[in-house]
Amino acid sequence: MRSLLHLSDVHFGPLHLPELAEAVTALVERERPDVVVISGDLTQRAKPGQFRAARAWVAALGCPVVFAPGNHDVPLWRVWERLFDPFGAWRRHFSPALERDHVDSELAVVAVTTAFAWTTKHGRLRPGQIADLERRLAAAPSAATRIVVAHHPLGAVPELGAEPPARGGAAALARCAALGVELVLSGHLHHGFVVPGAGERPALVHTGTSTSSRGRGRERGRNSLNWIEVGAETTRVERRLWQPAAGRFETAERIDLPRPPRRPRR
Ligand SMILES: [Fe+2]
Ligand SMILES: [Fe+2]
């Protein structure tokens, strides 16, 4: 059994909640997930100091961390940067690479960047990015459980309301299905939910904002994260919500996703 802690939208900046970030660090120390996933929006406004604070916090987690940027990790008002070097501040102050994966003999957790220079609410995946994602998935050990991480939702779900999923998301999901991806972990919407997979289509697993006051929808004013356990027959997603009185994230919902039978990848 392997475990992942899925965080998102930590939003270092004015709306970040340091006591929740400390609670996440304590959770990681206590429960020792195999991998921590942060599905984007590390900062609120892509400022150097916000990235440096995020980098220090991520480094202190002391375990493998998978990440990709979100739309808030691109400068909104610094128009020159936004146009010509949208991820420059990320690269200089958070990570030289846009994405970080984790691959071992049992887990292949692969991240893609759906934010882009003119990103606002919506994301995008270009054909070249999908081809690169395919290459990384295909190169992983054949026995590894395949999981993809993207900030914006890749598939249309009722929780999106009138917003569309990321452009290119449907094509990416089709390739994910063909390559045996079981879960797609995302954020951006600031509330959590799970859409079970159907046939070959992977399950879509969202978490709300783990450490900011930007919760929306049914998680307005709330904070959440997902604890995910990949077992032999079942993947269990525990949706945990922050309980201020208890001072910890507590399980609100458990969703068991049957694992698909092994099949040849195309
Ligand atoms: Fe966000
Ligand atoms: Fe976002």
Domain count, the chain: 1
- Domain of 239 in residue numbering reads as 2-258
What average pLDDT is seen over the chain?
95
Reported as type and span, the H/E element at residue 54 is helix 48-60
Q: Report pLDDT for 143.
A: 93
Q: What is the largest CA-CA distance in the chain?
A: 50
Q: Is residue 216 part of a domain?
A: yes
> Could you tell me the CATH number of the domain that includes residue 115?
3.60.21.10
Q: Report pLDDT for 10.
A: 98
Residues forming beta bridges with residue 146, ordered by sequence position: 108, 181
Average pLDDT over residues 25-38: 98
Cβ proximity of 255 and 194 under 8 Å = yes
**Predicted confidence band of residue 80 (pLDDT cuts 50, 70, 90):** confident
Q: How far is the CA of 216 from the centre of ligand 1 (A)?
A: 10
Question: Burial letters for 92-120: b for 16+ Cβ neighbours within 10 Å, e otherwise?
Answer: ebbbeebbbbbbeeebbbbbbbbbbeebe
Q: How far is the CA of 41 from the centre of ligand 2 (A)?
A: 6
> pTM of the predicted model, to two decimals?
0.96
Q: How far is the CA of 116 from the centre of ligand 2 (A)?
A: 12
Starting from the CA of residue 114, give the closest ligand.
2
Cα of 143 vs its chain's centroid, Å:
22
Over its C-alpha atoms, the chain yields an Rg (Å, rounded) of: 17
Q: How far is the CA of 96 from the centre of ligand 2 (A)?
A: 21
Q: Is residue 263 part of a domain?
A: no
Q: Is residue 202 part of a domain?
A: yes
Q: Is residue 266 part of a domain?
A: no
Q: Is residue 61 part of a domain?
A: yes
Average pLDDT over residues 129-144: 96
Contacts of 84 (CB under 8 A, 6+ apart): none
pLDDT at 77 over 70: yes
Rounded Cα distance, 177 and 201, in Å: 5
Cβ proximity of 195 and 242 under 8 Å = no
Q: What is the pLDDT of residues 229-243, one digit of tens each?
A: 999 999 999 999 999
118 sits in the region (left: phi over 0; alpha: psi -120 to 50; else beta) called alpha
Q: What is the pLDDT of residues 222-231, one digit of tens each?
A: 999 999 999 9
Average pLDDT over residues 184-193: 97
Cβ proximity of 177 and 148 under 8 Å = no
Which residue, chain included where needed, has tokens 């507590």? 250
Q: Is residue 183 part of a domain?
A: yes
Q: Is residue 264 part of a domain?
A: no
Q: How far is the CA of 90 from the centre of ligand 2 (A)?
A: 15
Q: Is residue 265 part of a domain?
A: no
Beta strands in the chain (DSSP E): 2-7, 35-38, 65-67, 102-103, 107-112, 145-150, 181-186, 193-195, 203-206, 224-230, 234-243, 248-258
Rounded Cα distance, 205 and 234, in Å: 15
